[in-house]
Amino acid sequence: MTVTFSTVGIIGAGAMGRGIAQIAAQAGSTVLLMDNAPGAAERAREAVAAQWERLHEKGRLDAAQRDACVARLKVAEAIEGLRECDLVVEAVVENLEVKRSLFRSLEAIVPANAVLATNTSSLSVTAIAAGLQHPARFAGFHFFNPVPLMKVVEVVAGFKTDAEVCKRLSAFAAQMGHSAVSTQDTPGFIVNHAGRGYGTEALRIVGEGVTDFVTIDRILKDQCGFRLGPFELLDLTALDVSHPVMESIYRQYYEEPRFRPSVITAQRLAAGALGRKTGEGFYRYTDGTQAVPTEPAAPQMDVLPPVWISPRAARRAELIKLVHTLGAQVESGAAPTESALIIVAPLGFDVTTVAAVERLDATRTIGIDMLIDDAATKRRVLATNPATRVDMRQAAHALFARDGKAVSVIRDSGGFVTQRVVGTIVNIAADMCQQQVCTPADLETAVRLGLGYPQGPLAMGDLYGPTNMLEVLFNLQTVYGDPRYRPSPWLRRRGALGLSLLHEEERA
């Protein structure tokens, strides 16, 4: 197979540049690695060669493949050494003027048919290309760190990019073993745009005093299957990277409420509590090992009050069966007796509002999150309201922990943790489809590979129900009066029709 680009220049010998150089050489291209810092390109070449040696030792490259890759990776001492390249990828500092100046210089050196690409993660591809004589050959080619392991690359079309350029970059990505996703030149492209819902909504929940960082991480991992909780993820990526991205996307979208950053990360950034690399973030780290507080034990109660379950509870039949299985008496009357523990299971609404609307005794009312099938989760989440009695809180906790499943008890808020975070993720993704930032299929691929979510956001909406997502969002908007929960028109249409969010476009 003939490689799409025979000679590839990489400018910038940091982690990203090294990673791109490695997979390009492995694909069969001759790679010229260049960096302005004296000796940086040679050190990077040696580091990549050492990586190939490790792959050989593990049996993933034979000796001939290793030697061929090493022979294809060369150092260019100056930008003029890239004049024979048919593709040049820039991976330098995220500064608009630095990148513009670099590409203006390159344009005078490389052949007229050479493709120029930027690995920018946050700057406008169109803005970088604005000073070029031939912006049609310029595109974004955004990889993720570590490049060899993160198997997705965003191919970004600027305003004047030739479609053929994007096709060639996508083909080259496939030859390098990566999945290419196509995106318009919008703030955050696909991955950083779609990823706004996870951390930002979790930060809002903490900021409202609903619960703590550790509990949110536990809930989202155990209920939804996320590999890392949002605060573990922020510690991993580091706040000196994550917080500026939050601010950048918020500003570039003219202060769209859905993307509003949090003062919590701003303060921690100022304090230098960046995450794993500083030994302190939302968690503390000793020799790279995360310290996690012990989870409080559930209260033990031999005698439990009878349980009355609201007729309006989500998954009511399932909830009744669960309470029976856990050994509690379920009341069947139209109203609870005076000794009953009252259970509600709202979607989007807070427990306080439900108790008031249904004329329930708030002192005995507890909420449970039933958005997800209980059998599919590793954790149950209960919510008190400001009037809930301690004995009723303990009774509910003891009851729902009887079979050994973990239980978290949080303070009252609209939408519990999972409902708010998942609803926000799905809503932002739906809005990206409405804006035609990318296709639904590319959105799903980018998020699964770039963010490591258990499902793509649209598949997540399908799994938990488009109509449930709409109910959560409409009710959150009522509770908070905040436009950040306004359902996307794209989601409203599909929720109303009950069609698959992902495959509806294929039926058109």
Catalytic center residues: 121, 142, 154, 192
Cβ neighbours, 10 Å, residue 253? 16
Q: Distance (Å, rounded) from C-alpha 198 to C-alpha 453?
A: 10
Angle (CA) 6-10-15 rounded to 5° is: 130
Residue listed under structure tokens 């079309």: 157
Joined tokens for residue 193: 């745009």
70 phi-psi bin (left φ>0, alpha ψ -120 to 50, beta other): alpha
**Helix (H), strand (E), coil (C) string for 59-85:** CCCCHHHHHHHHHHEEECCCHHHHCCC
**Helix (H), strand (E), coil (C) string for 107-120:** HCCCCCCCEEEECC
Q: Distance (Å, rounded) from C-alpha 374 to C-alpha 100?
A: 53
3-class DSSP state for residue 344? strand
Q: Distance (Å, rounded) from C-alpha 301 to C-alpha 252?
A: 54
Joined tokens for residue 71: 């022979």
What DSSP line would sit under 382-430, residue for residue? EE--TT--HHHHHHHHHHHTTTS-EEEEE---TTHHHHHHHHHHHHHHH
Question: Measuring CA to CA, how many Å separate 349 from each of 91, 257, 289, 416, 476?
Answer: 46, 20, 38, 9, 6
Alpha carbon 358 to chain centroid, angstroms: 37
344, amino acid identity: V
